[in-house]
Structure 1
Amino acid sequence: MSTDTPKPEKKLSAVEKIKTESEFLRGTIGEELANDTSHFGSSDIQLLKFHGSYQQDDRDKRVEMKKAGKEKAFAMMVRCRIPGGRITSDQMLAQLDLCDELGDSTMKITTRQTLQLHGILKKDLRETIHRINKMQLSTLAACGDVNRNIMCCPAKRADGVHQQLNQLTDQLTEDLAPKTPAYHELWVIDQETGEKTLEGGGPVEEPLYGPTYLPRKFKMGIALPEDNCIDIYTQDLGFLAVVRDDKIIGYNVLVGGGMGTTPALKRTYPALAKRLGFCTPEQTTEVSKAIIMVQRDHGNRADRKVARMKYLVDEMGVDAFRAKVQEYLGYALEDCTEDDVTGVDDHMGWQDQGDGKWSYGLNIENGRLLDNDTIQLKAMMREICKTFGTELRMTGHQSIIVTDVEPEQKDQLIEIIQRHNVPTTEDTSTVRRWSMACVALPTCGLAITESERRLPSLMDDLEQPLAKLGLDKERFTIRMTGCPNGCARPYNADIALVGKAKDKYTLFAGGGWLGNRLAYIYKDLVPSDELASEIIAIAGAFKANANEGESLGEFCTRVGKDDLAVMADAAR
Structure 2
Amino acid sequence: MSDDKKFTVEGKLADNERLKRESNLLRGTITTDLKDDVTGGFTADNFQLIRFHGMYQQDDRDIRAERMKQKLEPLHNVMLRARLPGGIIQPDQWLVIDKFAADYTMYGSIRLTTRQTFQFHGVLKPNIKQMHQTLNKAGIDSIATAGDVNRNVLCTSNPVESELHQEAYEWATKISEHLLPKTKAYAEIWLDGEKVDSTQEDEPILGTNYLPRKFKTTVVVPPHNDVDVHANDLNFVAIAENGKLIGFNVLVGGGLAMTHGDKSTFPRKADDFGFIPLDKTLDVAAAVLTTQRDWGNRVNRKNAKTKYTLERVGVDNFKAEVEKRSETTFEDSRPYEFTTRGDRYGWVEGIDGKHHLTLFIENGRILDYPGKTLKTGCAEIAKIHTGDFRMTANQNLIVAGVPSELKQQIEDLAVAHGLMEASVSNQRKDSMACVSLPTCPLAMAEAERYLPEAVSEIEAMLTKHKMQDESIIYRITGCPNGCGRAMLAEVGLVGKGPGKYNLHIGGNREGTRIPRMYKENITDTEIMSHLDDLIGRWSNEREEKESFGDYVIRAGIIAPVVDSARDFYD
Which TM-score applies when normalising by structure 1?
Answer: 0.93
* 8 Å Cα contact 1:234-1:258 kept in structure 2: yes
1:403-552 equivalence runs, <5 A: 403-420=400-417, 422=418, 424=420, 426-552=422-548
Over 3 Å counting, the alpha-carbon distance change for 1:374 and 1:203 in structure 2 is farther
* 8 Å Cα contact 1:361-1:425 kept in structure 2: no
Specify the alignment match of 1:561 in structure 2: 557
- Once the two structures are superposed, what CA deviation does each residue of 1:91-118 show, in whole Å capped at 9, x if it has no partner? 1111111111111211210001100001
Specify the alignment match of 1:165 in structure 2: 168
Specify the alignment match of 1:121 in structure 2: 124
Shift of 1:405: 2.1
Equivalent position amino acid for 1:254 in 2: L
- Once the two structures are superposed, what CA deviation does each residue of 1:285-344 show, in whole Å capped at 9, x if it has no partner? 010100001100010001111101000011122111111112222332222123242333
Equivalent position amino acid for 2:343 in 1: D
Specify the alignment match of 1:96 in structure 2: 98
The SS at the match of 1:170 is helix
Over 3 Å counting, the alpha-carbon distance change for 1:133 and 1:394 in structure 2 is same
- Partner Cα distance (2:461, 2:419) in 1: 20
Specify the alignment match of 1:230 in structure 2: 227
- Once the two structures are superposed, what CA deviation does each residue of 1:341-392 show, in whole Å capped at 9, x if it has no partner? 2333512111111322211101000000111333211101110100224200
Q: Which of 294, 299, 303 is residue 297 of structure 1 equivalent to? A: 294
- Partner Cα distance (1:402, 1:229) in 2: 17
Shift of 1:43: 0.5
Shift of 1:4: 5.0
- Once the two structures are superposed, what CA deviation does each residue of 1:2-48 show, in whole Å capped at 9, x if it has no partner? 99568362111011100000010000001111221311013101111
| Unpaired segments ≥5 residues, structure 1 | 565-572
Shift of 1:536: 2.7
Specify the alignment match of 1:569 in structure 2: none
- Once the two structures are superposed, what CA deviation does each residue of 1:225-276 show, in whole Å capped at 9, x if it has no partner? 2111111121100011111111111111000000100121010001111111
Q: Which of 313, 338, 341 is residue 341 of structure 1 equivalent to? A: 338
Over 3 Å counting, the alpha-carbon distance change for 1:562 and 1:158 in structure 2 is closer
* 8 Å Cα contact 1:240-1:340 kept in structure 2: no
Shift of 1:472: 2.3
Equivalent position amino acid for 1:159 in 2: S
Specify the alignment match of 2:240 in structure 1: 243
The SS at the match of 2:514 is coil
- Partner Cα distance (2:185, 2:205) in 1: 16
Equivalent position amino acid for 1:40 in 2: F
Over 3 Å counting, the alpha-carbon distance change for 1:423 and 1:167 in structure 2 is closer
Equivalent position amino acid for 1:181 in 2: K
Specify the alignment match of 1:393 in structure 2: 390
Over 3 Å counting, the alpha-carbon distance change for 1:562 and 1:488 in structure 2 is closer
* 8 Å Cα contact 2:415-2:421 kept in structure 1: no
The SS at the match of 2:45 is helix
Equivalent position amino acid for 1:133 in 2: N
The SS at the match of 1:42 is coil
Q: Which of 293, 298, 323 is residue 326 of structure 1 equivalent to? A: 323
Specify the alignment match of 1:187 in structure 2: 190
Equivalent position amino acid for 1:381 in 2: C
The SS at the match of 2:272 is strand
Specify the alignment match of 2:212 in structure 1: 215
- Partner Cα distance (2:33, 2:522) in 1: 43
Shift of 1:539: 1.6
- Partner Cα distance (1:425, 1:552) in 2: 26
| Unpaired segments ≥5 residues, structure 2 | 561-570
The SS at the match of 2:496 is strand
**Structure 1 position 310 matched with structure 2 position 329:** no
Specify the alignment match of 1:130 in structure 2: 133
Total equivalences in the alignment? 555
Q: Which of 274, 279, 296 is residue 276 of structure 2 equivalent to? A: 279
- Partner Cα distance (1:376, 1:244) in 2: 44
The SS at the match of 2:517 is strand
Over 3 Å counting, the alpha-carbon distance change for 1:78 and 1:328 in structure 2 is same
- Partner Cα distance (1:238, 1:258) in 2: 11
- Partner Cα distance (2:130, 2:449) in 1: 29
Over 3 Å counting, the alpha-carbon distance change for 1:41 and 1:48 in structure 2 is same
- Partner Cα distance (1:256, 1:8) in 2: 18
* 8 Å Cα contact 1:179-1:203 kept in structure 2: no
Shift of 1:498: 0.9
- Partner Cα distance (1:355, 1:412) in 2: 20
Specify the alignment match of 2:144 in structure 1: 141
- Partner Cα distance (2:405, 2:202) in 1: 53
**Structure 1 position 33 matched with structure 2 position 66:** no
Specify the alignment match of 1:76 in structure 2: 78
Equivalent position amino acid for 2:128 in 1: L
- Once the two structures are superposed, what CA deviation does each residue of 1:425-454 show, in whole Å capped at 9, x if it has no partner? 533110000111000000100000100000
The SS at the match of 1:295 is helix
Shift of 1:416: 1.3
* 8 Å Cα contact 1:156-1:403 kept in structure 2: no
- Partner Cα distance (2:523, 2:321) in 1: 46
Over 3 Å counting, the alpha-carbon distance change for 1:514 and 1:563 in structure 2 is closer
Over 3 Å counting, the alpha-carbon distance change for 1:171 and 1:24 in structure 2 is same
Equivalent position amino acid for 1:75 in 2: N
Indicate the percent of aligned positions where both proteins have the same amino acid. 39
The SS at the match of 1:59 is coil
The SS at the match of 1:346 is coil
- Partner Cα distance (1:64, 1:299) in 2: 42
Equivalent position amino acid for 1:314 in 2: E
The SS at the match of 2:219 is strand
Specify the alignment match of 2:10 in structure 1: 9
- Partner Cα distance (1:386, 1:241) in 2: 34
- Partner Cα distance (1:195, 1:257) in 2: 38
What is the aligned-residue RMSD (CA, Å)? 2.0
